[in-house]
Amino acid sequence: MTAAQAGCLTAALEIGYHLLDRGAPALTVVEQVICLLEQSGLFNAGRGAHVQLDGVRRMDASIMEGQDLQAGAVASIEGIVHPISAARLVMEQTTHVMLVGKPASVFARHGKLERQPIRPSGHALRKATMTKAWSPKTLELYRTMMSSGPALRKRAGKETVGAVALDRTGTVAAGASTGGIDVMLPGRVGDTPMIGCGVYADNESGAVSMTGLGEGIIRIAVAKEICDRLEQGERPASAATYVLQKLVRRISGAAGSLVLAPNGRFAITHVTPRMAAGWWDGKGQPTVRDCFR
C-alpha cells in the first residue's frame, strides 16, 4: 500500500464516520465512500480500473441494504467514473438487480453520471507491455475468442474497493467496485456484481464486502455464506475465517473480507499476503494498514 492509498483510505473513513454521525443512511455512506475511492484513481476501480485485453476499461459494482434486501449491480460497464452509483440507480430506479454491458453504460449516461474515456491514457503502450507476460497460446486464445466463443485466463486480482456500514436505525449496507483482474479477456465478470458472492447485506445477519480472485469467491458464494454463519450466532472474525479457509482448502482461492454484524462487531480478514483496509471509531486517528493478522 502506497502512502497515497493510505491517505485516501484515511480520508474515506473520516468522511464515512462523519456522515453516519450526522444520521446518514448506511447505503448513502457506502456509496459515498466508494465514490471517493473510485475518483482517486489509486485503486482498481473507477479512474484507476484495469483494462481488459482489448484495451477497454470495463467495470463491475454492486450495492445492497439490509432492511428490505434491496440490491443493485452493474457488470462490464464502460465510460463512467462511478459504477457504484450506477449500481444504486439500478436498485432504486428499476425493478431489476443487475444491468450489464453497453445497455448498463447507456443507463448510467441517462442517469447523468460522470463520464471517463473507455480507454485510459497511454493504454496502447501499457497493453503492449502487459501482454509480453502472456504466452503466445493465451494471446491466440484471445484472438480466437473474438470469432468463436468465451474462455478465461486467470491472473491475480488486486485492489477492488469496498465498504460496509451500520447506521443509527440499525440498517446495514455493503458495496464493492472493481476493474476486475488486469488484462483479462473481454467479457470476464468476477464476484463483485454478484449478490451473495462479492457483496451481501441483511439486518438479520450483517454486511459483507469481498475482494480477491473472483472466480473462487463465486464458486463458494462467500459473502452469503459468511452472513449465514453470522445469523447462526458466530462472531464476524470466526465466520470470516472459517469461510475463507474453506475457500483455500476446497479450491485454493485467495480473498479478503470486510464483515460487519448488526451489533457493531466487525472483522477485517484475509488469506492473501496483504489487504489494504481500515476502520475508525471516531477517536484518535483511523486505523489503516495492509495486513490484518
**Largest Cα–Cα distance in the chain?**
57
Is there a contact between 279 and 256 (Cβ–Cβ < 8 Å)? no
Nearest to 264 by CA among 9, 18, 81, 26: 26
What CATH code is carried by the domain that includes residue 254? 3.60.20.30
Is there a contact between 68 and 97 (Cβ–Cβ < 8 Å)? no
How many residues are there in the chain?
293
- Does residue 214 have a pLDDT over 50? yes
Q: What is the pLDDT of residues 124-179, one digit of tens each?
A: 444 544 444 444 544 454 444 344 333 223 333 347 899 999 999 999 999 999 99
In this prediction the pTM is: 0.87
- Does residue 100 have a pLDDT over 50? yes
Active site residue 138: no
Q: What is the pLDDT of residues 35-63, one digit of tens each?
A: 999 999 999 999 999 888 888 899 999 99
Please report the pLDDT score of residue 151 as a whole number. Answer: 28
* Ramachandran angles phi, psi of 56, nearest 5°: -95, 140
**What is the domain count for the chain?**
1
Domain ranges, residue 139: 3-289
CA distance 46 to 160: 10
Band (122; pLDDT cuts 50, 70, 90): low
Buried b (16+ CB within 10 A) or exposed e, 15-25: ebbebbeeebb
CA distance 56 to 70: 30
Instruction: Give the mean pLDDT of the chain.
Output: 88
- Does residue 235 have a pLDDT over 50? yes
Comparing 145-154, 177-186, 191-200, 226-235, the range with the smallest average pLDDT is 145-154
Buried b (16+ CB within 10 A) or exposed e, 50-67: bbbbebbbbbbbbbbbbb
Check 144, 160, 171, 269 and give the catalytic one: 160
Is there a contact between 192 and 214 (Cβ–Cβ < 8 Å)? yes
Q: C-alpha grid cell for residue 204?
A: 438479520
β-strand pairing of 172-178 with 161-166: antiparallel
Q: What is the pLDDT of residues 254-268, one digit of tens each?
A: 999 999 999 999 999
Q: Running DSSP on this structure, what letter comes out for residue 191?
A: S
- Does residue 216 have a pLDDT over 80? yes
Q: C-alpha grid cell for residue 136?
A: 503466445
Q: Running DSSP on this structure, what letter comes out for residue 148?
A: S
Please report the pLDDT score of residue 136 as a whole number. Answer: 53
Nearest to 98 by CA among 110, 109, 106, 86: 86
Please report the pLDDT score of residue 146 as a whole number. Answer: 40
Convert 44-95 into a string of H (helix), E (strand) and C (coil): CCHHHCCCCCCCCCCEEEEEEECCCCCEEEEEEECCECCHHHHHHHHHHHCC
CA distance 103 to 107: 6
